[in-house]
Amino acid sequence: MCGIFSILNIKNNPVESDIVEKSLQLIAHRGPDAEGVFFDRNIGLGHRRLSIIDLDKASNQPFKGLDGLVMTYNGEIYNYLELREELELLGYTFKTKSDTEVLLASYHCWGKDCLNKFNGMWAFVIYDPKKKELFASRDRYGIKPLYFATIGDYFVITSEIKQFTVLPGWTASLNDLRALDYFYYGVIDHTSETMFKSVYQLRGGEALTYQLDQHKKTVFQWYHIKDKISPFEGDDKDAIYEFKRLLIDSVALRLRSDVSIGSSLSGGIDSSSIVGIIDRLLLKDGGKRHSQSIISACYEESKYDERRFIDAVVDNKMINRYDVFPQIDDLFSDVDSMIYQQDEPFKSLSTYASWNVYKKAAEKKLTVMLDGQGPDEQLAGYLTSFYPFLSGLCSIFTMKSFFSELFSINKIHNISALNLGFISLATKILPVFMKSVIKNRSLKLGYPWINPKYSKKFFRENSLSLVFYNNLEDFLFNMFFATSIPNILHILDRNSMSYSIESRVPFLDYRLVELCFSLNQEFKIQNGMTKQILRQSMSDFIPEIIQNRVDKMGFITPEDKWIRTHQKEFRDIILTNVPPFIDKMKLEKWLSLHLDSVSIHDNRLWKLLCFQRWAQIFNVKYS
């Protein structure tokens, strides 16, 4: 895991070395172990290294390969040992033991087709002087970040947005429509655009070529999951076996490391499964590896705390356990640093719980952490999944299943059967334009302080893909590839790298993701229970209390309590330099009504505070 920088002077002038050096200084946290640069006339590549595999300095970057290829790379190719063997059979020799050299040799051998051979996470830039080309790629699901922009005389590719600030002519200008996406829907990273005008990202599964002689940039999608999946043909036992096999293999691959490894444990089924698998792998290994370390965010208030579930998971295992207790007083001292590291505002204080987990991991000298992100979007873990699930059952042929699942959900999750059934049915039968009108109306009522001039433009131009779904498959697909996972991965990358830690996500192994999207919905929701295949396949790895757990907390914080007890601080920050798309008088009136009564699931106040601090930290200009 590292940080990268690539710069091209479009006017063919030599690249100034101080621009590269300053950019790398801004991401020193991503790679504290080594720094390297490469220059070739109007091209510059930079790299900050966090050493994970092959700690020798021979693996430092930018890395030079055959035929003049030079690469700067961030990530891990977990199947690099298998690829190395394949390349050796083809005549390639290696001078290091790193995945970096394997990646560059793979590109030399197979060209852009090498991407389909990789099992891992990556963001890299390869300079090919013979082809006079820059080639950049991001992994299938966007685990590692990659941004690009043309600013003045420069075309630049970076790991983090803050790196653009060193360029002559940089101005942090707000992208108004993306800002309204953030407020209305709580999403970022759902498009190639960012909150900064003229700064873009490669999305998961995308690549970029830049022809140096023609100054022609081309962005294309190299990974299409719908080309990779088809309905699973085996029976239930076959599906459970395959899911279990792939998850165990995914975790085993992500334990490949030459440094210490830990896990984040919340007490939910996702992270508990990873911890259970690691424990079994350690036993199978005969205790040759160190016992695993886990970090958990905990709270004194019982309604936010998951320690009874965590206790059950760690019982009778070889585990070094470390609990961390996020505090509001620490938040106010950390908030500016956290927002700066994230580059863009984030929708809730669950980010702060994750921030504290990685802070504790750094204190315990853990360099790699495994995290349980993914199954909620792959296997319908969110309660909101019930609405499109039931909508999909609203037909004359499936009404028996509709009512059976409706009453099971009502009984298990205490969700009103009347409301759930009505909304699911309405979503199915109402025309798209009417659903859009209803949704837009509710958003306007929820955010009365957004200037109507801006909201009209937003609702006129905004995609309906964020609104309603009348089947589970489309809903989960959108969550995974647009509205949820990209945002989660953004936060996970910045929180971990802020403390020079590599985060790995076993559930996002592409083989497992493709399997999940090939399964029918009975493997996801059945008899009112979510994540069915995960519950069934992990019965030997997790306690019964975890397997049968139906509530979901995640990285929750006492956000409502913190806001109520620090109203003045929140109010002062929110009302400082209000942007033009917000009506300040309406906002002041709204604040006076809501600061006292904020609920645990209402993140509108935090979104305001976070946006305002972000705009001030990055000196954002409004149009």
The mean pLDDT value of the chain amounts to 93
Rounded Cα distance between 507 and 465, Å, is: 25
Q: What is the DSSP letter of 480?
A: I
Single-letter code of the amino acid located at 82: E
Pick from 109-113, 281-285, 437-441 the range whose average pLDDT is largest: 109-113
Segment 449-470, tens digit of pLDDT: 999 988 888 887 775 455 578 8
Instruction: Report the predicted TM-score, pTM, of the whole model to 2 decimal places.
Output: 0.95
Q: Which two tokens stand for residue 207?
A: 């690549």
Q: How far apart are CA 451 and CA 54, in angstroms?
A: 54
| pLDDT tens-digit readout, 79-138 | 999 999 999 999 999 999 999 999 999 999 999 999 999 999 999 999 999 999 999 999
Query: Is the per-residue pLDDT at 597 higher than 90?
Result: no
Give pLDDT tens digits for 151-185.
Answer: 999 999 999 999 999 999 999 999 999 999 999 99
Q: What is the largest CA-CA distance in the chain?
A: 72
Annotation marks residue 2 as catalytic: yes
Q: Could you tell me the pLDDT band of residue 623, with boundaries at 50, 70 and 90?
A: confident
Q: How confident is the model at residue 434 (pLDDT cuts 50, 70, 90)?
A: confident
DSSP letters for 384-399 = GGHHHHHHHT-STTTH
Task: Please tell me whether the peptide bond between 558 and the residue prior to it is cis, using omega within 30 degrees of 0.
Answer: no
Q: Is-contact 530 476, C-beta < 8 A?
A: no
- What one-character-per-residue DSSP string does 311-334 give? HHHHTTS-EEEEEE---HHHHHHH
Is the pLDDT reported for residue 601 higher than 80? no
For the segment 480-492, the average pLDDT, to the nearest whole number, is: 97
Same fold, 2-223 and 226-429+470-562: no
Query: And the tokens for 410?
Result: 């009502």
CA distance 432 to 240: 37
Count other Cβ atoms within 10 Å, centred on residue 337. 12
Tokens of 609: 């505070």
CA distances in angstroms from 542 to 269, 339, 498, listed in the order given: 8, 35, 31
Q: How far is CA 621 from CA 160, 216, 578, in A?
A: 19, 29, 12
Q: Which residue is listed with tokens 């900064």?
A: 196
- Going from N- to C-terminal start, the domains of the chain cover 2-223, 226-429+470-562, 563-617
Has residue 217 got a pLDDT over 50?
yes
Whether residue 350 is predicted with pLDDT greater than 60 in this model: the reply is yes
pLDDT digits (tens, 9 = 90+) for 293-323: 999 999 888 778 899 999 999 998 889 999 9
How far apart, in whole angstroms, are the C-alpha atoms of residue 194 and residue 175?
Answer: 7
Q: What is the pLDDT of residue 464?
A: 45
Catalytic hit among 2, 394, 516, 610: 2
How far apart (Å, rounded) are the C-alpha atoms in residues 151 and 462? 27
Residue of 132, 175, 143, 159 lying closest to 77 (CA atoms): 143
Structure token pair of residue 370: 């495994």
CA distance 171 to 62: 29
Mean pLDDT value of segment 228-255: 97
CATH superfamily of 2-223: Aminohydrolase, N-terminal nucleophile (Ntn) domain (3.60.20.10)
| Nearest CA-CA partner of 388 in 270, 467, 485 | 467
Rounded CA-CA distance 367/358 in Å is 10
CATH superfamily of 226-429+470-562: HUPs (3.40.50.620)
Residue in the structure block whose two tokens are 């165990």: 248
Residues above pLDDT 90, as percent of the chain? 82
Q: State residue 44 phi and psi, 5-degree precision.
A: -140, 135
> Could you read off the pLDDT of 53-89 as tens digits, one per residue?
989 999 999 999 999 999 999 999 999 999 999 999 9
